[in-house]
Amino acid sequence: MKKIPYGRQHITEEDIEAVVEVLKSDFLTQGPRIGAFEQAFAEYVGARYAVAVSNGTAALHLCALALNVEPGQKVITSPITFAASANCIRYAGGEVVFADIDPETILLDLDRTAALLESAPRGTYAGIIPVDFAGYPVQMDAFRQLADAYDLWIIEDSCHAPGGSYADARGEIQRCGNGAYADLAIFSFHPVKHIASGEGGMITTNRKDLYERLQFLRTHGITKREDLLAENHGGWYYEMVELGYNYRLTDIQAALGHSQLSRAEDGLARRRAIAGRYDEAFAETAVQTIAPAPGFHHAYHLYVIQVPDRGGLYEHLRQKGIYAQVHYIPVHLQPYYRRFGWKKGDLPHAETYYEHCLSLPMYPTLAPEEQDYVIEEVLDFFSLAPAARTEA
Ligand SMILES: *Cc1c(COP(=O)(O)O)cnc(C)c1O
């Protein structure tokens, strides 16, 4: 039986050629492919600047450092995300505060976030990390308004949403990660994401100050820029101006990512077509779907359904070769975060969502007949096979 995963990469001959070309060139890392990929990516999301890094988690870590997160500071994020969205605050010594999700969108709830900010003395919180979960864009202008009222920064975790967009309060279309409202946005090029580079990540921003700082931080905090050197001993000279890391992307990865990026819109169109077929198949069944509100263009990294017997459906699908997944176990209930006092019952919407959610196969190369098979098996499990429904 052919296995159908929930997500997978799509590598073409052009991708392979792009990588081979780098292997035959002078630079495997720190070469020209990095800048080219950064520029193309910045253009794609509509941001002024982009900084390529070794993975999405490194991107988050560097953002926390660039924004000077420090011990004693609190940062708000969603419990329904990959753990890295929260962990980056811990790396910098800050405290993670989870606010519950909006059960309609599964995104960080604006009102719950506002309530937390209101209930604490000013200066308690430093920033907010909203997540474009599954590819559903966060209404970032609304978060910006709130952030401004409390003097906070925003990191948009856009790993699920390259190409996604929403209409802001003025009716203008804003692409996820375009830096119009968030200070920084981050992306991942892990193979299950829209654009694959093996491992890889990107930070986008419209802020020149942060862009420059991120460039040092990504490469040991070292600069060779003459205008920034305290001394200059000659051509070999550089200065390490702060404690940075080696979080560079290689040219091999950048070439692959760039080649994939050039097909990103096609992949997005496929994802939306697949979502449309699922939507149609599950309308008026026990399978609950998430429909984006008007003005929101979902990027469909994931196609999430919510069902009464999630555990049963998960097992049923596995037996049929369909490897659906659960995104995510609420981060506040992970043993590491329980150590800080988080417990079951703290965030009821996130916890209820977790009991019922399942991510169905969603990737550009999912064939129509494979999707039909997935739909059939899901409906079968609930005894709602298409035939039975038409008779009813
Ligand atoms: C994948 C992902 C990350 C981390 O990206 P890596 O490249 O795997 O380090 C962070 N946040 C979210 C929401 C993700 O999906």
The H or E element containing residue 154 is strand 153-157
Helix (H, G, I), strand (E, B) or coil at 250: strand
Query: For residue 79, is pLDDT > 70?
Result: yes
What is the identity of the amino acid at 336?
Y
CA distance 100 to 123: 21
Nearest CA residue ID for atom 3, ligand 1: 56
Please report, rounded to a whole number, the percentage of residues in the chain having pLDDT higher than 90: 96
CA distance 10 to 196: 8
> For the residues 277-303, what does the mean pLDDT come to?
96
Tally of structural domains, the chain: 2
Q: What are phi and psi of 102, to 5 degrees?
A: -85, 120
349: Cβ–Cβ under 8 A, 6 or more apart, which residues?
100, 101, 102, 103, 109
Beta bridge partners of 157: 131, 186
* 324 and 257 belong to one structural domain: no
Nearest CA residue ID for atom 6, ligand 1: 56
| Final residue of a structural domain among 261, 287, 315 | 261
From residue 104, give the alpha-carbon distance in Å to each of 100, 130, 147, 274, 293.
12, 16, 22, 21, 10
What's the CA-to-centroid distance between 82 and ligand 1, angstroms? 6
* 29 and 125 belong to one structural domain: yes
pLDDT at residue 310, as a whole number: 96
213: Cβ–Cβ under 8 A, 6 or more apart, which residues?
66
CA distance 347 to 34: 41
pLDDT by residue (tens digit) across 299-330?
999 999 999 999 999 999 999 999 999 999 99
85 burial level (CB within 10 Å; 0-12, 13-18, 19+): buried
Full residue range of the structural domain in which residue 87 is found: 4-261
Query: For residue 281, is pLDDT > 70?
Result: yes
- Atom of ligand 1 minimally distant from the CA of 301: 15
pLDDT at residue 44, as a whole number: 98
Helix (H, G, I), strand (E, B) or coil at 54: coil
> For the residues 17-36, what does the mean pLDDT come to?
97
Determine the angle formed by the axes of helices 208-218 and 56-66, rounding to 10 degrees.
120
Residues at CB less than 6 angstroms from ligand 1: 55-57, 81-82, 84-85, 131, 157, 159-160, 188, 190, 201
Among 45, 331, 369, CA closest to 195? 45
pLDDT at residue 251, as a whole number: 98
329: Cβ–Cβ under 8 A, 6 or more apart, which residues?
354
Query: For residue 379, is pLDDT > 90?
Result: yes
* 248 and 356 belong to one structural domain: no
What's the CA-to-centroid distance between 161 and ligand 1, angstroms? 11
CA distance 376 to 277: 12
Pocket test for ligand 1, best of 54, 85, 136 (most atoms within 8 A of CB): 85
CATH number at residue 311: 3.90.1150.10
pLDDT at residue 384, as a whole number: 55
* 179 and 295 belong to one structural domain: no
pLDDT by residue (tens digit) across 83-120?
999 999 999 999 999 999 999 999 999 999 999 999 99
* 297 and 237 belong to one structural domain: no
* 219 and 277 belong to one structural domain: no
* 68 and 19 belong to one structural domain: yes
| Final residue of a structural domain among 261, 290, 305 | 261
pLDDT at residue 184, as a whole number: 98
* 238 and 321 belong to one structural domain: no
* 379 and 236 belong to one structural domain: no
| Final residue of a structural domain among 232, 261, 290 | 261
The first and second tokens of residue 284, run together, are 């008026």
DSSP string, 170-215: TS-EEETTSSSSSSEEEEE--TTSSS--SS-EEEEES-HHHHHHHH
CATH number at residue 53: 3.40.640.10
* 205 and 179 belong to one structural domain: yes
Query: For residue 388, is pLDDT > 90?
Result: no
* 25 and 146 belong to one structural domain: yes
Asked whether the whole model's pTM tops 0.85, one would answer: yes
pLDDT by residue (tens digit) across 236-259?
999 999 999 999 999 999 999 999
337 burial level (CB within 10 Å; 0-12, 13-18, 19+): buried
Among 267, 327, 370, 277, CA closest to 3? 370
* 247 and 328 belong to one structural domain: no
What's the CA-to-centroid distance between 380 and ligand 1, angstroms? 33
